[in-house]
Structure 1
């Protein structure tokens, strides 16, 4: 099974933000460390394959995406934690840094490939909602690499605590109505769904920054790059030669603006096609997160479906996705403008300032 392990690193508390030169240095040191690896050792000496990695630095530290082939989730996580900890310990400039996050994510495409590869009567169905129904009914045993009960309960608590952060929406947007005793979506399910959306915001933005760093390092476009991308690879593949560094920057700014509006009422509707595509990715991340931690019950699936309808109310059908990705940032109406940076499609304006 291929797991994507996100590892976040940060300098000691109180240290100043990393300037551009120090960020380049951090990436260089980490790249040098990973290139020297011959194998990644998991728990009990089990060898774990590191298929690919993406390294990015930002003012507050560094973000790594490790694509790990491991027999179980915990092996992937433990192996990633051990190898990054070892790299920090043996790299003097990073020896006082700390791990702030080490968690497995399941990329939707890799997850689907894994499910498609499974066969036999006990293979799980590809539809997450159907897997949840079978799990609730007890007809499908929990897979050996699923999170344990304590991990699932911890995530349940965390998602419910995150739910109030989605301040642009009440739980009614997820199908819960306190005044209706027979409501199909209970409060807990609605809170789990809302928290999963908030949790997915971090994943979406992190993955876009990671994609941007990978494309800057191995561009100039997705079509001409050998890198692995988390979000860009989910966009229409026949347009991959148009996914440039500038396009990815515009998409990242759009994602930050969009997700910020989700936490600041009121949220009206997506302002452009790019926002619609990002919302689709966000909701998919939320569903995968709930499913990964065995929290995607019928009610949670219904809550996420109701929320998707809230975000995308019925409208007159629009034409198919335009063949020019630059037009994805064109606002639908004059009263719903996109971010000025995202609206700028002129490559020549993105230049380095003179020293």
Structure 2
């Protein structure tokens, strides 16, 4: 059976974050290592074939996706961990890196099918706590069988989100609705300058909404950073499913995490190539969120990517019982300040048939190309086209090399 094993690797603690040149070098070293391997010996001498790999390096390490053909999930995980351990040790520059996670993340539908199909004395237990304990070689803690310590887990996730908040370097608390007289004045002055330059929307509009407490804004910021890892991870899975099936979202029979939530009218266009471009767009956008360089959303694809990120953050907060009215208000304020308009919402309104035919539309969004309804034209072909000159779109997503040559 084919498994996609996710591996989180990190640079040594206390080491400065990698700059772009170091990250490029790390990508080359890891990819060269994977290219030299066709199969790996798993537990009890079982041969595990390495079918594909994806390497995404960030300032603090790398996220790896390793696709293997293995007889069981546990065999896949153990084999990939041994492989990555060996690849890191081979390289003097990566030898001190650590592996923080190595696991197969099953889609809920596949997990249920796996459990339903399992039979015999070696079948995994139904209880998640007991199953996890068995997989990790331990025993479930006394009193936890059949139940989870939800409050402890919720508190732990909340604490982690608060720690992650500082990683969202491009946004001040005012973006989440925190009222600060001095900061609000600076933000409003900047917004006026942008409006004078022909840009609409803007940060910290100061529209009279109720103030959000700073602690709530911090938790909302941390929730977004927390959600980035989940969203990128699961989009990798979607790309792999579409690639393996050589299908579009409309034709795909396997389970998908996110791409099914794109506007239905274009489902036949969402193939593996499109999904890679969309994934690159998500990574480019969230990188600008966290490295402090973000200014404006660049294209329709980024507007949709932000929609997915906000949805993932909300879902995660709900999952751990952390979402309340104040947090919802903070995320709504953030969305209102980052989006220049909500034109992309028309893509989900099947009754409108899109707004591609607006008279005078030039097929490119942005404040300078608003249609009669005050929203941007959203032709599918222009989803990855910058709204205007100066907006950043990653080269891997921006256009087709063949078209550029022609």
Q: Normalised by the shorter chain, which TM-score bucket? A: 0.5 to 0.7
Q: Distance in 2 between matches of 1:183 and 1:319?
A: 28
The equivalent residue for 1:138 is: none
1:154 lines up with 2:156 in the alignment: yes
Q: Where do 1:57-136 residues align within 5 Å?
A: 57-58=54-55, 62-63=64-65, 84-85=73-74, 87-89=76-78, 94=83, 100-101=100-101
The equivalent residue for 1:329 is: 384
Instruction: Tell me the CA shift for residue 167 of structure 1.
Output: 0.9
TM superposition score normalised by structure 2: 0.55
Q: Distance in 2 between matches of 1:247 and 1:28?
A: 35
Equivalent position SS for 1:223? coil
Q: Where do 1:276-287 residues align within 5 Å?
A: 276-287=303-314
The equivalent residue for 2:7 is: 9
Equivalent position SS for 1:8? strand
Instruction: Tell me the CA shift for residue 245 of structure 1.
Output: 2.2
Q: Distance in 2 between matches of 1:104 and 1:293?
A: 22
Asked if the contact 2:223/2:313 (under 8 Å) is kept, the reply is: yes
Instruction: Tell me the CA shift for residue 13 of structure 1.
Output: 8.9
Equivalent position SS for 1:241? helix
Aligned counterpart for 1:230 among listed residues 251, 254, 257 = 257
Asked if the contact 2:34/2:53 (under 8 Å) is kept, the reply is: no
C-alpha spacing 1:330/1:196, structure 2 compared with 1 (3 Å): same
C-alpha spacing 1:148/1:261, structure 2 compared with 1 (3 Å): same
C-alpha spacing 1:25/1:310, structure 2 compared with 1 (3 Å): farther
TM superposition score normalised by structure 1: 0.62
Q: Distance in 2 between matches of 1:177 and 1:106?
A: 42
Ranges in structure 2 where 5+ consecutive residues have no aligned partner: 13-25, 57-61, 87-97, 111-145, 185-208, 348-353, 357-377
Larger Rg: 2
Equivalent position SS for 1:17? helix
C-alpha spacing 1:151/1:183, structure 2 compared with 1 (3 Å): same
C-alpha spacing 1:241/1:187, structure 2 compared with 1 (3 Å): same
Q: Where do 1:172-321 residues align within 5 Å?
A: 172-178=174-180, 184-314=211-341, 320=347, 321=354
Asked if the contact 2:173/2:217 (under 8 Å) is kept, the reply is: yes
Equivalent position SS for 2:321? coil
Aligned pairs, number: 276
Asked if the contact 2:165/2:222 (under 8 Å) is kept, the reply is: yes
Instruction: Tell me the CA shift for residue 57 of structure 1.
Output: 4.4
Q: Which has the higher contact order (CA 8 A, sep 6+)?
A: 1
C-alpha spacing 1:278/1:107, structure 2 compared with 1 (3 Å): farther
1:339 lines up with 2:400 in the alignment: no
Q: Distance in 1 between matches of 2:211 and 2:81?
A: 56
Q: Distance in 2 between matches of 1:260 and 1:339?
A: 11
